Structure 1
Amino acid sequence: MRLHHVNMVSSDVEGLNDFYQTALGLDAIPQLPAIHVEGYTDNSAGEVKIPARFLSAGDPELLQLHLCAPDEGLSERLRQPVNPLTRGHFAFRCDDIEVAKKRLEDAGIEYADYGVWAVKNWYQIFFVDPIGNVVEIHQVLPDDPGQD
């Protein structure tokens, strides 16, 4: 388990992106390979676009800053108990999502199992810590040729 990214939610994604590139000199990284999320992503130009910008916070593969537009209705639409796109979250990458889920279940911690839903090959779960922070754990799965 290792820290992978911090997600910040803002109605001014471009302004936040400009701020972090200017203030900290963070470099932009390409958009993650997205999956259409009804009511959130844009696929009008023939490819799925997340309303977000992505920055390297060190090694671009290992530590990132994700700047996303809010989606207040996401958890309701997807029938999940946790919404990672209201205030943002921080994320850990793991090698075995089933082990992470079992650890949370054994500890009696409710989590939202989003599966692979927004980023191709990322299996994501979300939970809330004791002071209200949303936490993501994800595993990068092998390529699935049927996933679009």
Structure 2
Amino acid sequence: MAVEILEIHHTGVRVDDDGAKLKATQDFYADVLGLQCDSGRPTIPGIPGAWVNVGEVGQIHLIGGKQPSPVAKGPGEDPTRPHVAYAVRSIKETRAELDRMGVKYWVIEGLVSPDSTQLFMNDPCGNMVELHQFDTCRCRASNRVKA
């Protein structure tokens, strides 16, 4: 049995940030592509950035700061590297399935919210993949609705 992916949620784009590059990149996505930033992006210490909304389901996460980031788990295990993120129905069941299959992954907990769990792994070509719990992030427009 494989992991159950429900939808693509975001693409993590690296911005080797000197401050000006991050602003210029945000302006590009807004002024050239007509996309707006998610004003609800949490402050992540040591990881500046912006989340750019793309339609009803999806974002582009602009990720700045120096690498390795403060949350890196070790060489090659830094969630600020370029990546694609998918939502899964149950992060707990997904973790158990990855363990059963013997897939190497690493975990980041509490980074974007106190109850968030993100699983990261590399595909055979070294591309980073993130898996996180469906409906617990701001990637879906319905989760960004202001109260």
Q: TM-score range by the shorter chain?
A: 0.7 to 0.9
| The 10-residue stretch of structure 1 (2-11 or 15-24) with the greater mean CA deviation from structure 2 | 15-24
Give the Å deviation of 1:16: 1.5
Aligned: 1:122 with 2:116 = yes
> Which of the numbers 92, 112, 117 marks the counterpart of 1:98?
92
**Corresponding residue of 1:144:** none
Structure 1 unmatched runs, 5+: 42-50, 142-148
Give the Å deviation of 1:5: 0.8
Aligned partner letter, 1:56: N
Within 5 Å, give how 1:55-134 maps onto structure 2.
55-59=52-56, 62-74=57-69, 78=73, 82-86=77-81, 88-116=82-110, 118-120=111-113, 121-134=115-128
Aligned: 1:28 with 2:22 = no
C-alpha distance in structure 1 between counterparts of 2:26 and 2:96, whole Å: 36
User: CA RMSD for the aligned pairs?
Assistant: 2.4
C-alpha distance in structure 2 between counterparts of 1:136 and 1:97, whole Å: 11
C-alpha distance in structure 2 between counterparts of 1:6 and 1:138, whole Å: 13
Give the structure-2-normalised TM-score. Answer: 0.72
C-alpha distance in structure 2 between counterparts of 1:76 and 1:123, whole Å: 13
Identical positions, percent: 26
Structure 2 unmatched runs, 5+: 1-5, 138-147
Aligned length: 125
C-alpha distance in structure 2 between counterparts of 1:24 and 1:76, whole Å: 31
Aligned partner letter, 1:137: L
**Corresponding residue of 2:3:** none
Give the Å deviation of 1:79: 5.1
Give the Å deviation of 1:78: 4.2
Give the Å deviation of 1:81: 6.0
Give the Å deviation of 1:7: 1.0
Q: Tell me, yes or no, if the aligned pair for 2:85 and 2:131 is still in contact at 8 Å.
A: yes
